[in-house]
A and B are shown apart, each in its own frame.
Chain A
């Protein structure tokens, strides 16, 4: 499976500011995704990061709040904009393909965000 890194691993931010999270993969992958996981909860898909085009957002998530970039097949960023305490969560990137069986996703280590 691919080796995935995320930066930063954790951060404490003030409300109203923005944080950009980076996701780097050691090999080219077809699909990259961004998830949010709040304490004690399961994973919620924020968006699919599309290489060379705008990300595809899930219901309840908008580009102005969570702008995403994917300049190539190994890298993506997620920005959490104009943060509020409700944005405190773990943010995870995941990847799928090529070279893996259909649908298998592998996760990065996550970014723990606390908004004060």
Chain B
């Protein structure tokens, strides 16, 4: 069974620091990788997508993909209290599979 694993947290990070969120996946055939942010009581919001090995940067967010290690991560620089949310990793081959999410708490 295809799986996407994330540490459930909570991960507590001081404001202004770098938050590092990690995800591993089981299906080597996966081609597309996504990070979603979900605030409490809201629906998931796509914040990053990555398709090839290496880093992809978008503002304060950097997604990192290592297909050989079946590992994808999300770095949030200069963390803000508004970044406090649950972050869902998602991996797609023939269908998209979501991890259970990591709760991130930014400490003011």
Contacts and interface: CB of A to CB of B under 8 A. Distances in A.
Interface of A: 1, 41-43, 45, 92, 101-110
B46 A1 contact: yes
B49 A101 contact: yes
Nearest to A45: B95
B88 A43 contact: yes
B74 to A, nearest CB: 16
Interface residues of B, number: 19
B95 A42 contact: no
B21 to A, nearest CB: 14
Given A42-B101, A43-B88, A103 B96 contact: yes
B43 interface: yes
B88 A42 contact: yes
B71 interface: no
B45 interface: yes
B43 A110 contact: yes
Contacts of A103: 31-32, 34, 49, 92, 96
Contacts of B44: 43, 92, 107
B45 A107 contact: yes
A102 B32 contact: yes
Interface in B36-62: 42-46, 49, 51
Complex A-B, nearest 5 residue pairs according to Cβ-Cβ distance, in ascending order: A103-B32, A103-B92, A107-B43, A42-B100, A43-B98
Contacts of B92: 102-103
Given A41-B100, A92-B43, A107-B43, 6 more contacts: A42-B88, A42-B98, A101-B49, A105-B34, A105-B96, A107-B44
